[in-house]
Structure formats: C-alpha cells, structure tokens
Structure 1
Amino acid sequence: METYFNDQSTECSASSNCNDGQRVDRYGFERTEDFNYESYEKLMSEYVGVLTRRSKKWSKLVQGTVKVEKNLRVKRYVRKGVPCEHRTQIWMAASGAQDQLNRNPGYYHSLLKAQHDPEIEEVIRADMHRTFPDNIQFRDSSQPCLQKALFNVLLAYAHHNKDVGYCQGMNFIAGYLLIITKDEEKSFWLMDALLGRILPDYYTTTMMGLKTEQEVLGELVRMKVPAVWQAMNRHNVMWTLVVSRWFICLYIDILPVETVLRIWDCLFYEGSKILFRVALTLICHHQDLISQAQSLPEICERFKQMTHGEYVEDCHTFMQKIFMEPGSLSMATINELREICRNRIVTG
C-alpha cells in the first residue's frame, strides 16, 4: 500500500481546485448559509496584522533549526499562535513526534505494507464518507482527495497501537492533522503523540481517560464556577451529556477552525490541561446563561449555544482569555483530581 502524498508540502491552505470564492475557507471547509461575512471580515482584518507580526517573530525563532525549546519565551510565542507555515514543524517538535519519526525511519511505510485485519479495514472504510462532509478536500471529486491518506493513517495507527485499534472520533483528528501537515507520516506520528502520550486512555475500549476528564472538569467547575455546578446538580445533568464531544473530538466541529488550531498549538506544547482551560473559559463566560436554565434540555441547548458566535470566532482574543478567566490551573491539581475521579469511577 502506497502513501498518498508524493510531496512534502506543509501548506495548510486548501488546494487550488478547493478555492470557490468565499464559500470555502482556506482549509477546504464550506461556510454555512448563515455565515456572517461582514463580522468575519472585520475580525480577520485585525487578525491578519497579528498573523503578520507573529510570522516574522516565528521565522526568526525557528531559522535553521527543527528543535523547539521548552522555555517561557517559546511558551509565550505558542500561546500567541503558531503561523500556518510553521505549524507542522512546531507541532512535530513540541510533541516529540519528530523525535519518534527520526528514531523509526520507514516504520510508517512498513505498517502500510503489513498484513491488515480486514475487520478494522471495514470499520475505517465505513467512516471515510462521514469524515468532514463539509470539507471539499475529503470528497471523491477533489483533486487531490484526502480520503485515501486518511484511510492509510488510521489503518497504520490501528496496527501500531493494537490496544486502541480504531475508534470513532479518531477519523476527525487524523483528518485535521492531514489538512495541516499534508503529510501522512507526520500525521501518523502526531496521532501517536496525542493518543499515546498527551491524551492517554481517551480511545481505549473503556475510554477511562475520557470519562475521568469529564469528572475532573466537573470538580473544577465546582471549585471555580459554583453557580454552574449547582445548576447542573439541580437538573441532574451528567457532564457526559454536554462536554463529551468537546474532549473526544478536541473541539473539532465544536469551535471554529482557526480557534481549534490555536487550541491545538497549545495542546501539543503544554499538554492536556489546555482542554480544561478552554472548557472552563466557555463555562465561566456563560455562567449566567447556564444558571438561568430551567430544565435539563435547556441546559444542553445552552451548552451548544455557547460554542458559537463572535466570542469564539475571535480566536486571538479567546485564546488570551483561556489563560486569564479560569485563573491558576496547575498540572499537580489536575493530576490529583484525576486520581480521585478515576478511583470514584472504578469503585462506583
């Protein structure tokens, strides 16, 4: 089985045939009928200036190196956003994926050439047409079409990590990685970094990691946004009803594309606590909206409402807020809560 991409391009804009005026964004996603072009143009006119300044700083920082230091300067740079032209390099370096690729030359290709489990192949194939139906790069008519590359990455990963195999939700993560990297092998190793190190146990059979994270968020809300915690309890709303997709899809299809990519910049550099910062910021900002809900369905609807609109579309301002609104949030606190919540799930 051959890999799909022949070049090593890291361009993240949609391919030339994917550009259908303003109807399609730079990543190939079709805009909805009610898309607010006026509001978008206003936001982007300001954001383009930010991107230009960041691009110059990043070009100077990464000149002649593939390494990414773990220091306050680089952390500040990442939080302010990684320009698209440097995103693949920074994600690969920051996550350890580049080191894994370097240590295992040819490994990805060997997985594609190996004998495959026909049941896994069938399950993955079934999800191909369900993956980003609103993105024209994943349609059969697109040249190139990312479906073949997506199939390869998912099949290789399923045989690389047999404990995980393939679970629904992984197709969207692999798809996003391919949109950015335009490189199967790099997307594979970034998947390995996410599922193997950054988000352990999210996609296992029991999904223990995912269940634990939702409980941890509940504890953090109880500590930081008690009014929302009380509303959830009052109407017997389980956290899994309102935030499971936030975690399992890493905010894909929940928040706007540019905002998701800015979150992922931090996710690859700082780890999983970023997911909690995003969730807490959304909940903190909309606590009055949630607290005033009168029923379980109303709370669920309000959780959907708060992931749309200018607040989350202005990705630069939103990312500034996730490091301010929730206040301090250490990994020590999160890990302590994880242990408590995991034990509660196991014994309960």
Structure 2
Amino acid sequence: MGQDAQELVKILHKALEAAQQEKRASSAYLAAAEDKDRLELVRHKVRQIAELGRRVEALEQERESLVHTASLREQQVQELQQHVQLLMDKNQAKQQVICKLSEKVTQDFTRPPDQPLSTADRDFLSQQERMEHLKDDMEAYRTQNRFLNSEIHQVTKIWRKVAEKEKALLTKCAYLQARNCQVESKYLAGLRRLQEAAGLEAGECSELLRELIQEALQWEASEAAADGSCVELGPVSEYDEYGFLAVPDYEVEDLKLLARIQVLEVRSHHLLALDAVERPLRERWAALGQLAPSAELKQLLRAGVPREHRPRVWRWLVHLRVQHLHTPSCYQELLRRGQACEHPAARQIELDLNRTFPNNKHFTCPTSSFPDKLRRVLLAFSWQNPAIGYCQGLNRLAAVALLVLEEEESAFWCLVAIVETILPADYYSKTLTASQVDQRVLQDLLSEKLPRLMAHLGQHRIDLSLVTFNWFLVVFADSLISDILLRVWDAFLYEGTKVVFRYALAIFKYNEEEILRLQDSLEIYQYLRFFTKTICNSRKLMHIAFSDMNPFPMKQLRQLRATHRERLEAELRELEQLKAEYLERRASRGRAVTEGCASEDDGDGDA
C-alpha cells in the first residue's frame, strides 16, 4: 500500500504542476494588452502542442520497439528454457542410469565372493544392462530428434522463402523472354518488309538482306546450342506437345521468315499469359471436380482445357453425345467384321493415311503406332455408318481425336459423335448437301457481321468457299496451329457447329485489315491459302469469336440453314431436270442417226 500511495502522490503532483502551468498561461493570456500578444501566446501554445505530439509519437515508436525487442527476448528465453529442459531431461535420464548402475555395483560387492552367478542371473543382468543402454540411447535420440525438428522447421522456412523468390524470378524471366521474342519478331518483320520492298532488284542491298535473313533464321538454333542452361518457359522444341512442327514448314522460301515470326509471337503470347491466364485457368479446372453441364463449364471450355485435363474432359463430352449409341463390345465387333471382309472404302483409306498431317511426327515417323490406329478407327467407322462409309476429311477428324485421346476406341466414338450427332446428317454424303448449305449460311453471316470485307472480296470476285469449305469439313484441322485448334475443339464438342461459324467469322475479323490492304485477286487468294496459320494470339481470337460476334442465336442459324437448303435442293432438282432433258435429247439424236444408217443399208441391199 505504501508504494501505491507514493505513486498516487506523484500523479497528483504532476496534475498540480499541469494545473499551475495552465493557470499561468491563462493569466498571461488575460493580462495581455493587445490581441496581437494574445495571438502570439496561442501560437506558442500550438507549437508546444505540436512539439508534445512529436514527443508522444517518438515515445510511441520507442515503446513499440521495446515491445518488439521484449517479444524477441521472450522467444529467446523460451528457446533457452526448452534447451535447458532438454538438458535436464537428459541429465535425469543419465542420473537414473547411474543410480541403477550404482545399485548393481553395491549388489555385486555385497554378494559373497564364493557365490557364483547362476545362468539365469547372468542372462537377466545382461538383458537388464542392455535395456538400460537402450533406454539411454532412446533418450539421446529423443533429444536429438527435438533439435532436428527445430532445424527442419528453420530449413522449411528458408525453403519457402527461396521458392517464393524462385517463382518471382521465373515470372520475371518469362516476361523478359516474351519481350525478347517480341523484339526479335519485330526485327524479322522489318527484314520481311525490306525484302518485299526490295522486290526483284539485284545488288549489294539484296545480298545483304539475304544474309541478314539467313542469319536470323539460324539465330535461335545456334543460341539454344550455345546456352543449354537456359530456363525453358515456353514451347522451344522443334515439335509441340501434340507432335506438330512448332515452326510451320512452308513450301515457299519467302514464307520461312514468316514462319519464324509466327512461332516467336506464339511463344511471346504463351509466356505473357502463363501467370495471368494459364495458371489461374489450371487451378479452376483442378478445383472443378465432377463434370456436369453448366454455364461455368461452358465458359471454361471456351477458354480452353489444360493439356493434363483434356483427355478426361473430351471423353466425358463424347459420352454425352453417344451414350444412346454406345455399347461395350461394339468397336471390337466392327474390327472383327473388317478382318472378315474388306470394305469397299479400304483402298481410299489406305491412300489417305499417308496424307494425314504430314507436319506431325506421330503420323510421319515409320515406327509410330498412330497410322495403324487411325486405319482401324476409319475402317470401323466405315462399317458403323454404311450410308457414308468413308469420305475424305474423316481421316483428319479421327487423327485429332487420336492425338488427344490416344486410345483407338475413344477416338472412334469421338468420330461418331462429330459425324452422327454434332454435324447435320448429310454433311459427308455424296452430294455434301449440308456442307454446301453451311457455306451459303457463312456468306450471309459474313455479309451481316463484316460488310466492308465482303464488299472488298466481292469487288475482286473472290469465292470464299474455296477456302472455307475445308474449314467446316475437318473443323479447322488443317488450318490453325495446334494450340488454337484444340481450344476450338474444346468448345465445339460441347456447343456444336455454332462454334465453327463463330471461329470462321473471328478468323476473318482477326485478319480483316490485312485482307483489305490487298488490291489484287491473285494476291488475295495466295494470302487466304495460308493466313489462318499466322494467327498466334488464341486469347484475342477467342474474345472475337465469343464477344465481338454476339448476338449469335441458334434459332437464326437454323432459319438460315432451312432457307438455303430449300434453295439448294431446288437448284439440284433443276440441274437433275436439265440433265435428264439433255440425256433424252442425246438419246433421240442417237436413235435418229441409227435409223438413218439402217435405211441407207436397206437401199444398198435392194440395188
């Protein structure tokens, strides 16, 4: 109580001093003759308050520092206490061992010297001694284990910091590599523009351009060979993950530079999207769990399925389409039927096997099993659907399915799902009626969505169906780079042919300005022959297809198809009628000629 009273007295003294100072300040303020003096007193008080505020802040910082130091000291004390406790435990264990040993020694001394130890006693003492040693070792190991656990905890913390730092460095490295790809791409594009401007001119300038282009094309290979330790953050190998050539092998020499520019742009987009888009997308797919039709799944499929999830997702999508057709032993029965009897389409299938994806190592390598798998899938389908049998283009559809699903039977059912449930019934018939209808529907949609482009193509009398017919027949299998192609198929297997129309329109929108700059029909046709392979930004193309091309109701697509089918069938009937009339006239002329010849023969006979 005496100490509490002293503290109370000190507090009262401080309060009294503060009151006296306040009283003196108030007296001085009241005694001031002028407002100027009073204002000066107020300013002085404000300065004092500010100074006191700063002192309070400094004291607060000092207090926080002392609190932090105290917490550190407390942690150190706790660690030391734990250490002391460990030592005490070990010491206690040793003391127990010493006591037991002392008891044993005492017993040995007190035993009469002429009394020998029995065998049981010796065994018992030996086991007792071993047990004591084992207990001592066990306590030592426990103590050591506690120290090791502490060390592991510290090492884990260090490892986490290093992992975070490594992740940050990898992100920075990816960004720098992407920037490097962009700069190199611009450099190569500049060389290409200079090459086009130089034309057929000969001389030192053209020779220098050829040397620079040759050096640029060989640059990356020599750089990779010189630096084998670089971090691979992008698709830098000769082939991509599905076996397609990373750099397209264009036949025209002038386009090899364009191919190198293209692969640099693809890698740049891949690296820049790695952290911002691809990794979050993978996390969303990993967290999705059981697949079920939903708006979220639709958006995820449009964004693209990561490679590690794609086989599982495609099998589920195919099952949704063919579950009413699927029977467990159907594929094996079709194969047995094919072995027993040769299908009429077998020869055409054999010819098309060698023409399937010549830029993919899985179909060009002599030791690959993919051509044999593809042959069996196509033969099984020809028996499954005798109305079609085999049509050129089915080999590419089945090949894409094989590259993703790898299993023959899964690829077979994927082909069945596309031909028999997604695309219209007579898409691959002898007349290709539904395919022709879709080309006319595409023309209408292009005129609606891209009128400037269609006016430009109409001015130069460009028939787009020469280019786009194959897009629809094989769902872009020959046209787009594999990364974009498989993203298109992700959405196509779920939403159907509407996706093909969306991407066809998006491809033209993506390259609209380039096409509008061309002013010669031959140039336009040459550009349209390969321009889809120059599309590198899958995110941009996807945004155009599913955002810029809205609205895109399925009802409109059905109406357009019905209208154009009616017109096409009328045209086909008219052609059949003209053909029949022509054959009738030809037959009539043949009969007339025959009768004339017969009458002349009769006259000769009479003579």
Both structures adopt the same fold (TM-score exceeding 0.5)? yes
Q: CA deviation at 1:267?
A: 0.2
Q: Of the two structures, which has the highest relative contact order with CA contacts closer than 8 Å and spacing of 6 or more?
A: 1
Partner of 1:100: 323
**Which piece of structure 1 moves more, 53-62 or 40-49?**
40-49
Given that 2:322 and 2:417 are in contact with CA atoms closer than 8 Å, whether structure 1 keeps it comes out as no
Partner of 1:58: 285
Partner of 2:73: none
Provide the C-alpha distance between the structure 2 equivalents of 1:86 and 1:41, rounded to a whole number of angstroms.
22
Query: 1:89 aligned to 294, 312, 315, which one?
Result: 312
Provide the C-alpha distance between the structure 1 equivalents of 2:375 and 2:530, rounded to a whole number of angstroms.
33
Partner of 2:523: 298
Q: Which runs of 5+ in 2 are unaligned?
A: 1-234, 249-255, 572-607
Given that 1:221 and 1:280 are in contact with CA atoms closer than 8 Å, whether structure 2 keeps it comes out as yes
Partner of 1:28: 243
Q: Give 1:304-319 correspondences, 5 Å limit.
A: 304-309=529-534, 312-319=535-542
- In the alignment, is residue 274 of structure 1 matched against residue 499 of structure 2? yes
Provide the C-alpha distance between the structure 2 equivalents of 1:108 and 1:97, rounded to a whole number of angstroms.
18
- Which residue identity is paired with 1:152? R
Partner of 2:274: 48
Q: Give 1:138-177 correspondences, 5 Å limit.
A: 138-142=363-367, 144-177=368-401
Partner of 1:135: 360
Q: CA deviation at 1:293?
A: 4.0
Q: Which runs of 5+ in 1 are unaligned?
A: 1-19
- In the alignment, is residue 242 of structure 1 matched against residue 467 of structure 2? yes
Q: CA deviation at 1:271?
A: 0.8
Q: CA deviation at 1:318?
A: 1.8
- In the alignment, is residue 342 of structure 1 matched against residue 342 of structure 2? no
**Which piece of structure 1 moves more, 297-306 or 222-231?**
297-306
Provide the C-alpha distance between the structure 1 equivalents of 2:440 and 2:518, rounded to a whole number of angstroms.
21
Seen in structure 2, the aligned counterparts of structure 1 residues 102 and 88 have a Cα distance that, compared at 3 Å, is farther
Seen in structure 2, the aligned counterparts of structure 1 residues 136 and 53 have a Cα distance that, compared at 3 Å, is same
Q: CA deviation at 1:295?
A: 4.3
Given that 2:335 and 2:380 are in contact with CA atoms closer than 8 Å, whether structure 1 keeps it comes out as yes
- Which residue identity is paired with 1:136? K
Provide the C-alpha distance between the structure 2 equivalents of 1:145 and 1:295, rounded to a whole number of angstroms.
45
- In the alignment, is residue 196 of structure 1 matched against residue 411 of structure 2? no
Partner of 2:298: 75
Q: Tell me the TM-score normalised to structure 1 length.
A: 0.85
Partner of 1:230: 455
Given that 2:322 and 2:421 are in contact with CA atoms closer than 8 Å, whether structure 1 keeps it comes out as no
Given that 1:92 and 1:186 are in contact with CA atoms closer than 8 Å, whether structure 2 keeps it comes out as yes
Query: 1:179 aligned to 372, 381, 403, which one?
Result: 403
Seen in structure 2, the aligned counterparts of structure 1 residues 102 and 343 have a Cα distance that, compared at 3 Å, is closer
Identity of aligned residues (%): 29
SS in 2 for 1:232: helix
Partner of 1:212: 437
Provide the C-alpha distance between the structure 1 equivalents of 2:267 and 2:467, rounded to a whole number of angstroms.
31
Partner of 1:326: 549
Q: Tell me the TM-score normalised to structure 2 length.
A: 0.50
SS in 2 for 1:23: coil
- Which residue identity is paired with 2:278? L
Give a deviation string over 1:214-267, Cα, whole Å, max 9, x none.
Answer: 100000111121122223333333332121121112111211110000000000
SS in 2 for 1:85: coil
Partner of 2:582: none
Count of residue correspondences: 322
Q: CA deviation at 1:197?
A: 1.2
Given that 1:241 and 1:300 are in contact with CA atoms closer than 8 Å, whether structure 2 keeps it comes out as no
- Which residue identity is paired with 2:381? Y
Seen in structure 2, the aligned counterparts of structure 1 residues 61 and 116 have a Cα distance that, compared at 3 Å, is farther
Given that 2:439 and 2:469 are in contact with CA atoms closer than 8 Å, whether structure 1 keeps it comes out as yes
Provide the C-alpha distance between the structure 2 equivalents of 1:162 and 1:258, rounded to a whole number of angstroms.
34
Seen in structure 2, the aligned counterparts of structure 1 residues 151 and 47 have a Cα distance that, compared at 3 Å, is farther
Provide the C-alpha distance between the structure 2 equivalents of 1:110 and 1:210, rounded to a whole number of angstroms.
31
Seen in structure 2, the aligned counterparts of structure 1 residues 98 and 109 have a Cα distance that, compared at 3 Å, is farther
Given that 1:210 and 1:247 are in contact with CA atoms closer than 8 Å, whether structure 2 keeps it comes out as yes
SS in 2 for 1:89: helix
Seen in structure 2, the aligned counterparts of structure 1 residues 240 and 40 have a Cα distance that, compared at 3 Å, is closer
SS in 2 for 1:264: helix
Given that 1:100 and 1:189 are in contact with CA atoms closer than 8 Å, whether structure 2 keeps it comes out as no
Provide the C-alpha distance between the structure 2 equivalents of 1:47 and 1:212, rounded to a whole number of angstroms.
38
Provide the C-alpha distance between the structure 1 equivalents of 2:348 and 2:267, rounded to a whole number of angstroms.
41
**Which piece of structure 1 moves more, 113-122 or 76-85?**
113-122
Provide the C-alpha distance between the structure 1 equivalents of 2:270 and 2:498, rounded to a whole number of angstroms.
28
Give a deviation string over 1:251-309, Cα, whole Å, max 9, x none.
Answer: 11211110000000000111111111111112223334334544433332332353133
- Which residue identity is paired with 1:56? E
**Which piece of structure 1 moves more, 21-30 or 151-160?**
21-30
- Which residue identity is paired with 1:307? T
Seen in structure 2, the aligned counterparts of structure 1 residues 226 and 38 have a Cα distance that, compared at 3 Å, is closer
Q: CA deviation at 1:343?
A: 1.2
- Which residue identity is paired with 2:379? L
SS in 1 for 2:379: helix
**Which piece of structure 1 moves more, 46-55 or 82-91?**
46-55
Q: Is the radius of gyration larger for structure 1 or structure 2?
A: 2
Provide the C-alpha distance between the structure 2 equivalents of 1:47 and 1:251, rounded to a whole number of angstroms.
24
Q: CA deviation at 1:101?
A: 8.5
- In the alignment, is residue 39 of structure 1 matched against residue 265 of structure 2? yes
List structure 1 runs of 4+ shifted beyond 4 angstroms: none
Given that 2:510 and 2:541 are in contact with CA atoms closer than 8 Å, whether structure 1 keeps it comes out as no
Provide the C-alpha distance between the structure 2 equivalents of 1:283 and 1:98, rounded to a whole number of angstroms.
30
- Which residue identity is paired with 2:413? W
SS in 2 for 1:307: helix
Given that 2:382 and 2:390 are in contact with CA atoms closer than 8 Å, whether structure 1 keeps it comes out as yes
Q: CA deviation at 1:98?
A: 7.1
- RMSD over aligned Cα atoms: 2.2
Given that 1:289 and 1:302 are in contact with CA atoms closer than 8 Å, whether structure 2 keeps it comes out as no
Given that 2:397 and 2:474 are in contact with CA atoms closer than 8 Å, whether structure 1 keeps it comes out as yes
